Structure formats: structure tokens, C-alpha cells
Structure 1
Amino acid sequence: MTAGGGPHEFARLAAPLRGARRVAAVPVLGYGRGELLPATPEVALDWQAQGVLAHAAGTPVVLFGHSGGALLAHRLAVRLTELGFPPAGLVLADVYAPDDPLMAEWNRELSEGVFDRVEQFVAMDDSRLTAMAWYGGLFWTNPEPDTRIPTLLLRASQPLREPADGRDWRSTWKAARDVVDVPGDHFTMMAEHGGTTARAVHRWIGELPR
């Protein structure tokens, strides 16, 4: 949901899965110039849900989301379940609740991490910055994990910075059926270590009941 984010963020995750899994990126409505922003969370989720169902054409779907996008992926998984099309699984990579104190403590590292990788992403123009603020208002709320959906939590093995009070900095998700630590920090687990992250997802999907 960041202004510089988008499907291109998942290129390094998708590449190792070529020939093993069908991978498709789900766009977020309103980030393209001239696109309308959704009035409500329901409009945003239903637009994505219809796209996922049309693309899947009846085949099982596993949703994947990273960071703030993981909160959106969870909400989409719940919406698909409500519509009668529950996903086969949900993978959440380094997700944190918005009110987690680490989000404030790591504010500098999170911001700099995005701008340090700006060449990997799209230009942050006024439309995308506006969309980011709008989606923050729609979805930046504390999640209510859903135990109906088989869920894998992927956690970075390295912190962006060790917390000042020494507490456990690792991501948590109450409804996670499985938890796997992968190499890298919040950003590099999706970039430099994207291949290892992809293989962890691939193995987990293979263990899901058919």
C-alpha cells in the first residue's frame, strides 16, 4: 500500500516459482493516474476479490502479502471466505499491527528502507501519495485474525534495529497455523533473499490439504 509499491515488489519472489506455481500480482484500485479511489473498504476488497476469482477460474488460491500489504491480504482472504470462495491458504510476511510500538520505533528505518529502494519501484507521484494516505485511512486498523483460513507467518530473521528495551521484535500473528523464519530483514527477505522466501512458501503450499 506504499506510494512506491506495486506488483513489481514481488518479482524476486515470483521468479524462483516459475514453472512450479502460477503467480499473479493483485493490483490495488486507485494508484494509477486517473483511477478512482474506493469509497469504502468493501468496495476495494470486492474489486480485488472479483479480479482474483476471475483470474483463478476455479483453481485454488493462496494469497500472499508483505508488511502493510499483509493486512490487506488478510482482509481480502476474509472477504473471499464471506463470498463463499475461501482461499486455500494465506501467507503473511513480516506483518505488524499498526499500534505495535515497533512501528514507531522503526519509523526512520521503515521510511529510509522504502526510499533506499526507490529505483526498484515506481515513481511516487501525487496520485500514488494520495492513494497511500487514502488506503491508510481505510485499512490501517488492528487486524482480527481469522482461524478459518490456513495461515503461514513468515518472519524476518534480522531486525531493522534491535529494540531499545531488548524485547522480542519478531512479527506475530495469533491465527498462524505455521511460523517460519527466513533470512533477511523486513526488506531484504523480499529482495536479496527473495528466493529463500519463495521456497518456504512453495514448501508450505505443498503441505496444504488438497
Structure 2
Amino acid sequence: MPETFTTSTDPDLWLRRFAPDPAAPARVLFLPHAGGAASFYRPLCRALAGVAEAIAVQYPGRQERRREPCVEDLHQMADLVAEVLAGAPERPTALFGHSMGAVVAFELALRLEERGAAPVALFVSARRAPSQYRVEDLYLQSDERVLEEIRRLDGTDTTFLEDEELVRLILPTLRSDYRAIGTYRPRPGKATSAPITVLVGDSDPRMSAPEAPHWAGHTSAGIDVHSFRGGHFYLAEHVEPVAGLIGRRLREAGVPVPAAR
């Protein structure tokens, strides 16, 4: 018989606290991009120290969870993260997702709201609205085409792509994540009550600033849009301004958090 897997919802597997602060008045949950890991958010989590407890999600199939099967359905991913959070102490929560993580954050917001624990704010970064369908079949393309996309996005020093052993390790995770985003379809008529803040790099090849307003159709609380200089991974160069923006949105939601340092 084929081996079967049950994905655990143990918070110790899923949640990374780079600057633990359980007494903080609010928490911000960060959802990574396709192929990304919780460590991508380490600088931003640390920039929020003293403002809110920043928690980054570690998806299965990467870093210390690399032996676990990836989740190839974003609805299932949102279900799993919602279960992970079910036993967490109640306090105001904001969600922040980058690229694929923006979709997970949106779907997670819907699930938390259905459970009576709606987030106070939703931040969606470098991703067009779920209603703006576009064919994304990268998961069906050749290995070289997948690697070309990584180079095009220029998110990191791509010299690591010259290491064939490392490439063999990361390609399965990338393909699984690209399958998840490529096969995702939103549930019709679903919108969150959380205000949405849209963040975009002004030279992002995946999403342009004119596409950002479409997120307004996915919330009953309105949106605001912030453009930053840079590409798809503009976030790496704008940690402090983004941390400041998160703090402002929390205060606007009535959460008594201090200003980011």
C-alpha cells in the first residue's frame, strides 16, 4: 500500500518566533511566498519587537520540515494554519502574506472570521487579488523554465542556482508551491471584514500598482495601497517602513501598540 501522510497541526512545527513576546498587545502572523520559508521574515519580525509579537509560519516541505510532504492546495493550507491557531490565546491578530502567502493570508482571514476570531488587519504583498484570474502553469513547465522564473524575480543572490545539489533539493518544493497557486480558485462571494493594506514593488514583474485596487472587492472595510521602490521582493529593502506601516494599522484598529522603533 502507498504511504500516507497526515499533516500535523502542532504549533511547534508551524510557528517561528524570532523575537518572542507573549505579553505583547497584538500578534502579527506572517505567511511566506512560494518556495519561501519562515526565515524570510526574520528581519521584519525583529523590527516589530516591542510593538507586537511577530510570528512566521513554516510551511511543510522546507528547511527543518523538508522531509514532510508539501501542501499543494491553498484552501487546505489555510485550513491547517487555522487549526494551528485554534488553541492560541486570544488577542488582536493581523495577517501579512507575501506573494503566494497573500492568498493564504486572505483565505486564513475568512476562516478565522468564520470562527469568530476575525483579524484586525490584513496585509497582502506582491500579489494581485484572487478575483483577477490569470493562468499560472509554471508547475507544468521544465526545470529550466522554473529556474528562469526565480532569476527573473531576482529575490535573492541567484548564484546558489549554480549548485546542482541545492537546486535538486529546492525544485520539488517550488513545483509544489507553484501547483498550489496555479490551481487555486477563490470561493465565490467570500470577502473579509478586515481592512486590507496592499503593498507592491513599483517594478514587480508579477504585479503592478494598477492591479492593487481590485483587492477592494474582497473586503467590506476598504483598502489602502502602498508602493515601494523595487521588484517582487522589494520587502527585503524596506523592512523598517513596512514595520512602521504595520504598527500604524494596528493603532488605527484600536490596538494600543507603541510605534515601531
Which TM bucket (shorter chain)?
0.7 to 0.9
CA 1:149–1:81 in structure 2 vs 1: closer, same or farther (change >3 Å)? same
If the length of structure 2 is used for normalisation, what is the TM-score? 0.62
Q: Which residue of 2 aligns with 1:46?
A: 79
Deviations 1:30-85, CA, capped at 9 Å, x for gaps? 4432213447555422221122233x411121110112210111011111112232
Residue 149, structure 1, aligned to residue 194, structure 2: yes
What secondary structure sits across from 1:185 in the alignment? coil
Match of residue 250, structure 2, among 185, 205, 209 = 205
The amino acid of 2:105's aligned partner reads A
Deviations 1:112-147, CA, capped at 9 Å, x for gaps? 224644589xx55244134324423553x3576614
Residue 160, structure 1, aligned to residue 204, structure 2: yes
Residue 99, structure 1, aligned to residue 130, structure 2: no
CA 1:196–1:145 in structure 2 vs 1: closer, same or farther (change >3 Å)? farther
Return the alpha-carbon distance in structure 1 between the equivalents of residues 198 and 203 of structure 2: 16
**RCO higher in structure (CA 8 A, sep ≥6):** 1
Residue 191, structure 1, aligned to residue 236, structure 2: yes
CA 1:155–1:130 in structure 2 vs 1: closer, same or farther (change >3 Å)? closer
**Structure 1: stretches of 5+ with no match in the other structure:** none
Deviates more, 1:189-198 or 1:36-45: 36-45
Residue 60, structure 1, aligned to residue 92, structure 2: yes
Return the alpha-carbon distance in structure 2 between the equivalents of residues 168 and 44 of structure 1: 27
Return the alpha-carbon distance in structure 1 between the equivalents of residues 117 and 159 of structure 2: 37
If the length of structure 1 is used for normalisation, what is the TM-score? 0.74
Residue 22, structure 1, aligned to residue 53, structure 2: yes
Deviates more, 1:168-177 or 1:21-30: 168-177
The amino acid of 2:153's aligned partner reads G
**Structure 2: stretches of 5+ with no match in the other structure:** 1-32, 139-145, 161-165, 256-261
Return the alpha-carbon distance in structure 2 between the equivalents of residues 136 and 199 of structure 1: 29
Match of residue 84, structure 1, among 105, 116, 120 = 116
Match of residue 171, structure 1, among 202, 212, 215 = 212
CA RMSD of aligned residues (A): 3.4
Q: Percent identity?
A: 23
CA shift at 1:22, angstroms?
Answer: 0.5
The amino acid of 2:77's aligned partner reads A
Q: Which structure is larger by alpha-carbon Rg, 1 or 2? A: 2
Q: How many residues align?
A: 196
